[in-house]
Structure 1
Amino acid sequence: MMLYAQHDTYGFSKIPVYTTFQTSDYQGGIQNWDLIQDQRGFVYVANNFGLLEYDGNEWRKYEVQNNTRVRSVYVDETNRVYVGGQNQFGYFAPDSSGTLTFSSIYDSLTDQNKSLEDIWKITRYEDEIWFCSYLGIIGYDGKKARMLPRPFEYGLAFNVANKMYVYAPEHGLAEFNGQTFQVIPNTKRFGDNQIKEIIPHQNGNLLIFLEDGHIFKFSNGKLSPWSVAAGDFLKEALINKVLLLQNNQIAIGTQNNGILILDSTGKSVLHLTKDRGLGNRTVLALHEDQFQNLWVGLNNGISMVELASPFSIIDEQSGLPGTGYCAGFFGNTLYLGTSNGLFKLDAHPDPIAESRNYELIPGSGGQVYNIQQINNSLLLGHHSGAFEIINDQAVPFYDVSGTWKFEKIPHETEILAGTYDGFLQLNTTSSGSRHIELLDDFRESSRVFEFYNDSVIFMTHGYKGVYRLTYNTHKNQFSEVKYYGDQSGFPSNILINVFDLGNELVFPAATGIFSYDSDIDRFVHHQKLEKWIAPNQHVREMTSDIHGNIYYLTDQELGILEKNNFGSYQKRSAEFSRILKYVNDDLENITVIDHQNVFIGAKEGFIHYNPSKNYNRDQSFQTYLRHIEAVTDSAIIVHGGADSVYVPDFSLPAYFSSLKFKYATPYFDGQEDLLYQYKLENFDKDWSDWTEISEKEYTNLSQGTYTFHVRAKNVFGVISEPAVFTFTVYPPWYQSRLAYLIYASVLVLIFAISMFILDKRHRQKHEILAELQKHELQKKDSQLQEVSKKSEQEITKLRNDKLRAEIDHKNRELATTTMHLINKNEFMLTIRESIKDLAKNGSKDVAKKLIRDIDRNMSEDEGWEQFTKHFDQVHGDFLSNIKKDHPTLTPQEIKLCAYLRMNMTSKEIANLLNISVRGVEISRYRLRKKLNLTRDTNLVDYMLEYDQA
């Protein structure tokens, strides 16, 4: 987008703010033949490649059947878009998904009515839509198309106050009487010229515009030429389109030289052409929107000119090169100082007059800082020094150092000039010569300074602080210099300015705005201004007009504090945000000339602001959903954005992955500054933050009903009516009503089957229980028998255990007796040995007799009988049986068998038999032979198992 400005009462060469759309922007053909808007504010353009639609955010293109060029477009009150092309016409209307689709009316015509060629115009008459070509007019009532009567050849139709006119070259102007066209007498004045437009004029008159630039007034049935000062211009430019604007001005689009705007009296107001508000000089279509923006269809591209905007820019395309630094209006001449020099433009009421470019003042080339008129002298502050403008020449009078600005000393004729090296005093002698004196008392660069009173000056240095200079005019010197910095109330020593607001000096610092309190000789916060300009902002420029309104520029905003009748202010900054990015950020400057002309230094030239321009900032507007797309297995267009009626009761399956919304607001006054805010009820807790992004996507929403809201906020802080879309996310199939019904049916069926099965099982179980009871009884009987048998066995076992116990007891007694015998024999052997010793030492007869008695005692079998009795009891008549089975066994061998049965050792057996161990082994050998045992048979094992044989 580029910014330019218009002419005002002084005839300043300016060009309005405009936007140009190239073919790359709208993806269409170069030529745009017609323009119109629907009820929502969407712009429709008849383009070489089809129908273009612009919603303020993006362009869409719709092709017409046969890919014909679209020459004309019309929108009715239902937002149905009618189009006319080459041997084709019809309308676009939304389908079930809200997407514009084309329906042909031309195809319904009979063959004899189809030779129409291009439909150059579409208009409305009563209840019919008229499709106009140079070969006839087709009327369409919404159901049926008809060819209008053509009693003679005529051109296109013009609807003026619901009266339809056509021009027939051989007959004159004709009016439709409801049945056919009737020629108006005495109107054959135009020859073969085509009528380009007929518009209403003052007092019920009509203005008729011809292609060759002539304009006629039709009043009381008579035609007369309507003379305008720009008549010659229009004849050369050739007229293509004419539009009556809302302010009763007339916009004339030409073939060769852009647009000329006339007021109702025919006076030229504004001229726009290529590189001066338009992208091309051939105008094919005109339309004015609700914001008084002029949409222009061009031979190459589309332009939107903001005629109602109070802002404009003067730059190199207006003939002014360089960055803007100062402005002034002196002697009916506008002076603008830039980085390239000082330029002038004399006031002129005719915007299409020749030589309207800004002229460089000779000798002023280079960096200009200031232009001031003091004591009837026009003084120029310049990087090269100080100049005076004399006879449109820049005449230098001080070239030692660069000069910033000039100030007249109060109540004196002398002038102070701030330079790179301090101050100069300028005196004008009686002869008119100028005397210059450098004030050596102070040598700081003095760009920003103001008089506090007749003798005190405050000068601020951007990187050092504030200086209070007391000036002695009689001695031409500073009698006192006092410094103020962060010790005097300022937050720091840097970025301090001083501005004269008419009745006081204010001192903006790096942060905050201050004023000087002479009672305490300190700087204090300016509470009144800081109420409107936040203290955290750094004010770079401030100035006031004659009404006390304050223009200001900070590091964050540009605006105006409008003073009311009560001495307070109303702040306006939102509308200035559009141009803030174009403002010069070096040596900022705002110059107020009058109530219509405020100049703001820009990076390229100047921004012109007209405070008195009627600018409607509170227009209501609407946000629209332009595209809704759901993604499941594939992308589904829920709504195509062709109308405002969204799909009712729309539902999404539970398995959808995303739902994407695109939205737009056809608010074209500062479109790039629109912000959007959205909220999804049942998901978002509150509105989102404001954002420039015009789309939102939600993914994996859970089941439920949601309502999406979206709204926009314009540069003035006005919020649009929201767009609202309600939809439902279905639960998964297994949570649907049908699923729950199936679940219930299945549960009932399962319950019935379960009851049947349970009943059957109950009967079967009863039968089984009966059978089990029978078996159980049988089992009990068997168990009783088994228990009885086990009892008997247990009793037998107990008896056997008792017998074993008794046998064990007998064995223990037998073992005790045997051990007793063994001990007795051992004892007896010991006594015998003792007696033997005695016999050796004493009476041998006595000893021998004693030994014989003992031997006889040991050999006696007194204890054997008792042993045999106990042994047989324990071992089942072992001794009796072995005697019986082996009668050849000696008593000694039977004893050996008993002792082997008891598993006694050879030593123990030797003691019992009163023989040696060797004798035991020999006895064992003999016993084996008598028993006929083999070598493999163990004698002890044989004895142990004998009773079992």
Structure 2
Amino acid sequence: MFKFFINILLFSLIITISKAKQVVNYPIPEITNYPPEVNGGFTSNWGITEGLDGKLYFANNYGVLVYDGKTWSNIILDNNDPARSIATDKLGNIIVGSRGNFGFISNNGSGDPIYKSLNKYLDDKNYKNRDIIYETFSLADGQIFFRSLNNLFFYKDKKIKVIKKVNKRKFGVSRLLNDEIFIALIGDSIATINDHKIIKIKNSEIFKDKTVTGFHKSKTNELVVFTRKNGVYKQTDDGFLKINNEIINNIGVIYRTFGLVNNKIGLATYEGLFILDNSLKPIAHYNSNSGLRVDNIRSIYQDQNGIIWAGLDDGISKINENSKFKFYDLKSSNLNSRVRSLNVYQDHLYVGTNVDLKKLVLDNNGKLKESFIQIGKEKLNTQVWETFISNDKLLIGSNAGLGVIDNSENYELAINKKDIGIVFEIIESKIFKDYLLVRSKKGIFLINKFNLKDYRKIYKGSGVGYLNELEERDEIWFRVSKKGIFRFKIENNNINKTKFDEKIFTEGKVKLFYINNNLIIYANKNYLEYDFLKERFKQSDLFSKIINIKNKEILDLKKTNINSYWVTFTERIEGKRVQEFYEIDSDGKILKLPFENISHHLDTEFFFFNNLTLMSSNEGIVIINDKDFNNNQTGSAIISKIVNNDQKVFFGAPNKDLVNNTFKIKQDFKFNQNKISFTISLTDYFYENKNKYRYQLVGFDEKFSDFTYSHNITYTNLKPGKYDFKIQGLNSNGVLSEINNYSFYIDYPWWQSKIFYIVEFIIFSILLITTLFLKQTGKAAALATSISFMMILAFFEYINFVLDPLILDLSNGVPVFSIFSKVLLGLILLPLERLINSILDKMAKKIKVN
């Protein structure tokens, strides 16, 4: 029996999920554009790869562009040629194909990344072909593969194997699938490459008159071949069979295809970027209407965090497919006005806006798109404040009054504005069974949900807001602007009314919320709650654990499907409005929600449906993935640049390159090279502008700094000694990166070195012996006194050298010991000089007697 109920539950869950997916199909993920004026390159981007540390590299017409999450930089190739292909080998080397040239990213010996060509390893020392290197792959056996139209190159261990075109057939697109190279033979067929030999695939002559643009494997491991204008084909026992897919067939030009995570496929087209699942079903389409800078896509790459990067014909776009948020914005989705209410009715999303009522539908004129269409156009051209489902009908609260949409989408006005006023809110009453609580401009109404004509007014007047029904107490609470707070207690079908009209409740902003059986009131910048035992208001500590709560104003509170509450606050920080979101569970535990990236949305309200969480705002509608808040992935905290005394030390170059050259970052500096600057970043690209950093210079800082958005750190006037600079990143989800570090040493000046003091000790030992000799002979007494005086000064200087750094640490940088030692020296110098001379005189006499 238990298994039976579990199966029923799972079946219901599946049905619920499928329905939620039908409601929302193609929202737009967050898309960020990096045009040439931002990334520092030219327009076209032909390839993308990722280093082991998470830095991104783009094959651009200007060269290689590098992005670390904070800073864009570039690497110029030989002859200022464009980079046309790029890859990362298993050791992390960045491999680049250019025009008539191919090579790798190395180090100029001073920390700057540079391009180095592999052409010198060709047997043909006169090789001057200007063919474009269109693809670059790293093979499992350590070979690097490069493809041009006329030649294939295999590099390994400073040797290059060249395969020339076969029967004058040029080489077309190539792809690496499970470490097997597939390649198109232009005007002939397709082939694989095994042990540097080209092996034609049986019955592939079908591609003789077609331009192949990509190779992939299906989920059942059949070869799938994409063409430029002739659709997609799957290999069968008898050859290749065209797959009938209307969307793919209607794409004008498929420029290239790229493998994505989970065997998905990205299509780079002139109409935007298409994504197919592992069964070749199109599941997404992004173009300039979705937010891309242009429609012409040249390259596609999915990074280690699942973010899709598109190299465009003009710039670069980041598509945050795995984001917590996706959108229906006002313009592209045809909302065109601020959203006021949301509801799911008959598996469709209905939206009340400032001007009309709309429904989300699949766009038959687009590809994998949705848009909103107007409902009740002839009768409902006004502001819609509320949508509410009752008795299989959609109730509409609007400026026209209370209306109804039936299951055939016919709209009728049930109670007009003259009788009920503008309807703002509809609640199903738990106290008055079979009745609805309706808040309008004329007051609060009880309406029979089975007969909308049957209604009565329980409060008359405008300005009603924040209506709360306390079912377990049989009470209704609400606020009336400038009149106070009202409490209606229902006893034996009678309503006992209480009014709280103290000044704090009649002036300024007054808001009421009911959370975890607590009635919370925000009034005059105070958070109060009502004590039902003592029948009075008192200060509330419900939100006391929220930082700076005294300066925060609560904007909204909504109960979720899991009996927690989402709360929105705002405050003013440094002259700017800041908005934050929190979740409070049934035990009162408070968690800050990682919603910084939608904090600029205004007039927000959350809506919770089965497996679907939405937020309305002035920007449109946000679909929130509330199942992935605890994503514990993040990138690497990296030191991108090191500068010493305004001189470059390190600018992101590798420590070891493809041909096994090794490079060491400078770590030893002279005593006057005591200004050092670091540029740091976190290679987490979900919301890279929200990444924070903390740092510590061990040997200078006692502890890590607070987290900050600042990524440039400078230390000046560092004293000689050992230092270890540590950094750690914090991404927008609150996940910490591993700590990265750089150790260095600042030398002591020669006059403070131990060698100097040893030499000084030897010299003054000689002087001591000389002094004893002079005193013994009785000659040159003044000279002996001077030498002993110099020895005292040297001794004090050495004491200063040893103890002063320790005293500085203990006194938090106050040079107390230096000052004290000099004062002490001034006070005791003459007595000490006399004492030492006396001792030396006695020693000299003793030596003379002996």
Q: Aligned partners of 1:333, 1:638: CA distance in 2, in Å?
A: 60
| Matching of residue 58 in structure 1 with residue 74 in structure 2 | no
Alignment match, 2:389? 373
Letter in 2 for 1:665: L
Alignment match, 1:466? 485
Alignment match, 1:481? 497
* Structure-2 change in CA distance of 1:579 and 1:97 (3 Å): same
Q: CA deviation at 1:135?
A: 1.3
Q: Aligned partners of 1:694, 1:128: CA distance in 2, in Å?
A: 38
- Aligned-residue CA RMSD (Å): 3.6
Please identify, of 618-627 and 347-356, the stretch whose mean Cα deviation from structure 2 is larger: 347-356
| Matching of residue 40 in structure 1 with residue 53 in structure 2 | yes
Q: 2:299 aligns with which of 272, 285, 291?
A: 285
Alignment match, 2:596? 577
SS of the counterpart of 2:250? helix
Alignment match, 1:702? 719
Structure ranking higher in strand proportion:
2
**Matched residue count:** 736
Q: Aligned partners of 2:195, 2:614: CA distance in 1, in Å?
A: 56
Letter in 2 for 1:143: K
Query: What CA deviation, in whole Å up to 9, does each residue of 1:222-249 have, x standing for no partner?
Result: 4222333423333x2x212323332333
Alignment match, 1:777? none
* Structure-2 change in CA distance of 1:429 and 1:319 (3 Å): closer
Q: CA deviation at 1:309?
A: 1.2
Q: How do 1:597-676 and structure 2 match up within 5 A? A: 597-612=612-627, 617-631=631-645, 635-643=646-654, 647=664, 650-656=667-673, 658-676=675-693
| Matching of residue 346 in structure 1 with residue 358 in structure 2 | no
Q: Aligned partners of 1:521, 1:745: CA distance in 2, in Å?
A: 90
Q: CA deviation at 1:42?
A: 0.4
SS of the counterpart of 2:287? strand
Letter in 2 for 1:177: N
| Matching of residue 419 in structure 1 with residue 419 in structure 2 | no
Q: Aligned partners of 2:584, 2:779: CA distance in 1, in Å?
A: 97
Letter in 2 for 1:404: F
Alignment match, 1:826? none
Alignment match, 1:447? 465
* Structure-2 change in CA distance of 1:647 and 1:491 (3 Å): farther
Q: Aligned partners of 2:265, 2:521: CA distance in 1, in Å?
A: 47
Alignment match, 1:163? 180
Please identify, of 416-425 and 274-283, the stretch whose mean Cα deviation from structure 2 is larger: 416-425
Alignment match, 2:274? 260
Q: CA deviation at 1:752?
A: 7.8
Alignment match, 2:16? none
Alignment match, 2:211? 194
SS of the counterpart of 2:261? coil
Identity of aligned residues (%): 20
Q: Aligned partners of 1:254, 1:106: CA distance in 2, in Å?
A: 33
| Matching of residue 271 in structure 1 with residue 285 in structure 2 | yes
SS of the counterpart of 2:90? coil
| Matching of residue 321 in structure 1 with residue 333 in structure 2 | no
Structure number with higher relative contact order (C-alpha < 8 Å, ≥ 6 residues apart)? 2
Q: Aligned partners of 1:628, 1:617: CA distance in 2, in Å?
A: 31
* Structure-2 change in CA distance of 1:339 and 1:163 (3 Å): same
Q: CA deviation at 1:183?
A: 1.1
Q: Is contact 1:23-1:30 (8 Å) kept?
A: yes
Q: Aligned partners of 2:347, 2:547: CA distance in 1, in Å?
A: 36
Q: CA deviation at 1:647?
A: 4.5
Q: Aligned partners of 1:602, 1:419: CA distance in 2, in Å?
A: 22
Unaligned runs of 5+ in 2: 1-19, 572-578, 657-662, 783-850
| Matching of residue 141 in structure 1 with residue 156 in structure 2 | yes
Q: Aligned partners of 2:666, 2:130: CA distance in 1, in Å?
A: 45
Structure of greater Rg: 1
Q: Is contact 2:150-2:165 (8 Å) kept?
A: no
* Structure-2 change in CA distance of 1:24 and 1:394 (3 Å): farther
Q: Aligned partners of 1:46, 1:372: CA distance in 2, in Å?
A: 53
Alignment match, 1:28? 41
| Matching of residue 308 in structure 1 with residue 327 in structure 2 | no
Alignment match, 2:559? 544
Query: What CA deviation, in whole Å up to 9, does each residue of 1:12-34 have, x standing for no partner?
Result: 44200121111111111111111
* Structure-2 change in CA distance of 1:660 and 1:38 (3 Å): same
Q: CA deviation at 1:562?
A: 7.6
Q: CA deviation at 1:182?
A: 1.2
Query: What CA deviation, in whole Å up to 9, does each residue of 1:705-744 have, x standing for no partner?
Result: 1111111112222221122111111222322355446545
Letter in 2 for 1:451: E
Query: What CA deviation, in whole Å up to 9, does each residue of 1:652-702 have, x standing for no partner?
Result: 222235211111110112211111111111211221122110011111111
Q: CA deviation at 1:495?
A: 4.2
SS of the counterpart of 1:701? coil
Q: 1:90 aligns with which of 97, 103, 121?
A: 103
Q: Aligned partners of 1:516, 1:350: CA distance in 2, in Å?
A: 56
* Structure-2 change in CA distance of 1:116 and 1:224 (3 Å): farther
Q: Is contact 2:114-2:653 (8 Å) kept?
A: no
Structure ranking higher in helix proportion:
1
Q: Aligned partners of 2:629, 2:212: CA distance in 1, in Å?
A: 34
Letter in 1 for 2:339: G
Q: Aligned partners of 1:80, 1:461: CA distance in 2, in Å?
A: 68
Q: 1:590 aligns with which of 598, 606, 617?
A: 606
Q: CA deviation at 1:366?
A: 4.6
SS of the counterpart of 2:595? helix
Alignment match, 1:906? none
SS of the counterpart of 1:664? strand
Letter in 1 for 2:485: V
Q: Aligned partners of 2:724, 2:781: CA distance in 1, in Å?
A: 61
Letter in 1 for 2:166: P
Q: CA deviation at 1:133?
A: 0.9
Alignment match, 1:249? 264
Letter in 2 for 1:621: G
* Structure-2 change in CA distance of 1:763 and 1:691 (3 Å): closer
Q: Is contact 2:50-2:56 (8 Å) kept?
A: yes
Alignment match, 2:842? none
Alignment match, 1:333? 348
SS of the counterpart of 2:206? coil
Q: CA deviation at 1:331?
A: 1.8
Alignment match, 1:70? 83
Q: Aligned partners of 1:429, 1:202: CA distance in 2, in Å?
A: 53
Q: CA deviation at 1:345?
A: 1.2
Q: Aligned partners of 2:717, 2:237: CA distance in 1, in Å?
A: 71
* Structure-2 change in CA distance of 1:616 and 1:404 (3 Å): closer
Q: Aligned partners of 2:731, 2:273: CA distance in 1, in Å?
A: 29
* Structure-2 change in CA distance of 1:675 and 1:227 (3 Å): same
Q: Is contact 1:318-1:358 (8 Å) kept?
A: no
Alignment match, 1:789? none
Alignment match, 2:520? 507
Q: Aligned partners of 1:133, 1:649: CA distance in 2, in Å?
A: 39
* Structure-2 change in CA distance of 1:466 and 1:714 (3 Å): same
Q: Is contact 2:47-2:85 (8 Å) kept?
A: yes
Letter in 1 for 2:284: L
Letter in 2 for 1:130: F
* Structure-2 change in CA distance of 1:241 and 1:521 (3 Å): farther
Please identify, of 712-721 and 528-537, the stretch whose mean Cα deviation from structure 2 is larger: 528-537
SS of the counterpart of 2:279? coil
Q: Aligned partners of 1:764, 1:462: CA distance in 2, in Å?
A: 101
Q: Aligned partners of 2:780, 2:385: CA distance in 1, in Å?
A: 115
Q: What TM-score do the two structures reach when normalised by structure 2?
A: 0.78
Q: Aligned partners of 1:223, 1:569: CA distance in 2, in Å?
A: 62
Unaligned runs of 5+ in 1: 1-6, 766-949
Q: How do 1:476-875 and structure 2 match up within 5 A? A: 479-484=495-500, 495-499=509-513, 506-510=519-523, 518-522=532-536, 536=550, 537-555=552-570, 558-559=580-581, 561=583, 568=587, 571-582=590-601, 584-585=602-603, 588-595=604-611, 597-612=612-627, 617-631=631-645, 635-643=646-654, 647=664, 650-656=667-673, 658-737=675-754, 739-740=756-757, 743=760, 747=764, 762=779
